[in-house]
Amino acid sequence: MLNLDSADSLARLDPSNYLRLIDSYSTQLASAWRQAAGLPLPPGAEQADLVLLAAVGDASLAADVARHCVLFRSRLPVVLWQDSALPAFVGPRTFVIVVAAGSDLAAAVTLASGAAMRQASVLAISDRTDVWGGLPVWVHSGGVGRGLFPTQAAFTLEALHKLGCVPDAAPDIAEAVGALDQQSERLTTVSPVRRNPAKRMAGQLMERNAALFVVDELAPAGRRWASAINQTARAWSECYPLVDADQVAAGALFPEALIERYMVLFLRGADEVQSSQLRADQTRLVYMTGGYNTDSIAAVGRGRLSQLLTLAQYGDYVAYYLALLYGLDPGGGGKWEESGGSLLAPPSSVALS
C-alpha cells in the first residue's frame, strides 16, 4: 500500500499539484473576499424582492454555502436554482446571480440572458468575461472547477452582503480563515498518519462505499464530501441530510453481504441544536447495531461559514488521500501504472451489458 507519509510518492501521483488547491482554502477565501469587496452590484439589484442563485455542479455547492450563511438572517428570500430553465417567477423584482466557471458556460449564459430579457437584475460570478454578452460580471481567477469552491463561495457571500442579506461578512470571513489555516496544518501531507485523521479516514474508506449523513444546516458541506469522493477518488459516495435519516436507515438491512462494504459517516456541526444531536446519535446507533462501520467528523468554529468550509475542506483532504491510495491522479489525469511509469487517461466510454 502507498505510504501517505512519503513526499516523493505523493508528488509523483499528483503531477498537477491538486493538493495546493485544498491547502489554499483560507488564502482563496480571504483573497476572493477582498477582491469582491471592491466590486459594485448591478443597477436595480437593491430593489429586488428575491434573490435567485443559479448554478450547477460544484458551483452550486459554493453558492449554497453562501445561501446557508444568510438563510436565517436575510431580509430577502434566497433561492438556489439548479435547473436549465428559469422559473416563472423571475422578473423585474428578481436579482439573479449566476455562478459558473470553466469552458462550458453555454447553459449558464442562456440562463443569464433569459433573466435579463425578463428585466431582472443579473450578475455573473465567473472566471471569464467574454461570454456574458455585456452583462455585469464579477470575474475571479480560473483553475480546476472544483478547486474554486472557496473563491465562488466568498464572491457569492459578498454579493449577498452588499445586498443587505447580512450586515457584515468580515467577522465570518476572519473566523473561517483562521479555522482553515489551523485545520490545514493538521490535515495536509506533511502531517504524519499518526496525527492526521484525514489520512486515516481515507484508509478506512478504501474498498468501501461511503454513506454520509450531515446535519441539515451544513448540508452543502456534506454534498461537497460526496462530490469530492466521486470526482477526486472516483469512488462511490452519497450524502443524506439528517431530516431524511429515518427513511434511509429503514432500508439499510439488506442485502446483508454488503454491510461490510460500507462506511457510514456522520458530519456534525460544532453547535448542533438538541434535535439534530438526538437524530444523529440515534441514526448512528441504528447503523452500529446493524453491523456497519461508523465514524463522525465535527466541523470547526462558531460561525456557519467556518463550519461549512472546514467540513468541506476536510472532505477534500480525505478524497485526495483516497485517490492516491487507489493509485489515481487527484487532479483527474487517470490511473498510475507502476510498470510503465505513466498516467493512463480514463476510458472515454464504458460499455454496459
Q: Read off the C-alpha cell for 257.
A: 453481504
In a domain, 347, yes or no: no
Given this model, what pLDDT does residue 70 score?
94
* Average pLDDT of the segment spanning 97-117: 94
Note the pTM of the prediction, 2 decimals: 0.91
Give the model's pLDDT for residue 123. 98
Strands ordered across the beta sheet of 328-329? 328-329, 334-337, 342-344
Q: Give the confidence band of 334 by pLDDT, cuts at 50, 70, 90.
A: low
Domain count, the chain: 2
Q: d(Cα 93, Cα 50) in Å, to the nearest integer? A: 7
What pLDDT score was predicted for residue 342?
40
C-alpha cell at 327: 493509485
Tell me, yes or no, whether 164 and 224 share the same domain. Answer: no
Place of cell 439534530: 276
Name the domain boundary from 121, 136, 168: 168
Q: Which of 168, 201, 227 is the last residue of a domain?
A: 168
Mean pLDDT (the chain, rounded):
90
Give the torsion through C-alpha atoms of 133, 136, 140, 146, to 10 deg.
-70
CB 165 within 8 A of CB 51: yes
CATH number at residue 51: 3.40.50.10490
Q: What is the mean pLDDT of residues 293-319?
A: 96
Q: What is the pLDDT of residues 189-221, one digit of tens each?
A: 999 999 999 999 999 999 999 999 999 899 999
Q: Which of 127-141, 142-156, 188-202 has the lowest mean pLDDT?
A: 142-156
Does residue 255 form part of some domain? yes
Q: How many helices (H) and strands (E) does the chain have?
A: 12, 12
Q: Which of 105, 107, 33 is nearest to 65 (CA)?
A: 33
Domain that holds residue 301: 183-329
> Is residue 68 scored above 70 in pLDDT?
yes
269 grid coordinates? 456541526
196 vs 142 pLDDT, higher one: 196
Do 46 and 142 lie in a common domain?
yes
| Rounded-to-integer distance, Cα 321 and Cα 316, Å | 9
What's the pLDDT at 81?
A: 97
Considering the domain architecture, whether residues 223 and 256 belong to the same structural domain is answered as: yes
User: Would you say residue 32 has pLDDT above 60?
Assistant: yes
What is the predicted pLDDT for the residue at 333?
57
pLDDT for 339 equals 32
Q: How far is CA 14 from the centre of its chain?
A: 21
205 and 323 co-located in one domain: yes
Domain shared by 141 and 254, yes or no: no
Task: Check whether 309 has a pLDDT greater than 90.
Answer: yes
The answer on 188 and 135 residing in a single domain is: no
Give 159-168 pLDDT, tens digit per residue: 999 999 888 8
Residue of 180, 173, 171, 101 lying closest to 141 (CA atoms): 101
Q: Is residue 213 part of a domain?
A: yes
Q: If you compute the radius of gyration of the chain from its CA atoms, what whole number of angstroms results?
A: 21
Q: How confident is the model at residue 301 (pLDDT cuts 50, 70, 90)?
A: very high
Distance CA 351, CA 344 (A): 18
Note whether 187 and 325 are same-domain residues. Answer: yes
Rounded Cα distance between 2 and 262, Å, is: 22
- Most confident residue range from 56-60, 139-143, 179-183: 179-183
Q: Is 201 exposed, middle or buried (0-12, 13-18, 19+ CB in 10 A)?
A: buried
Residue 104, classified by CB atoms within 10 Å of its CB into exposed (0-12), middle (13-18) or buried (19+), is exposed
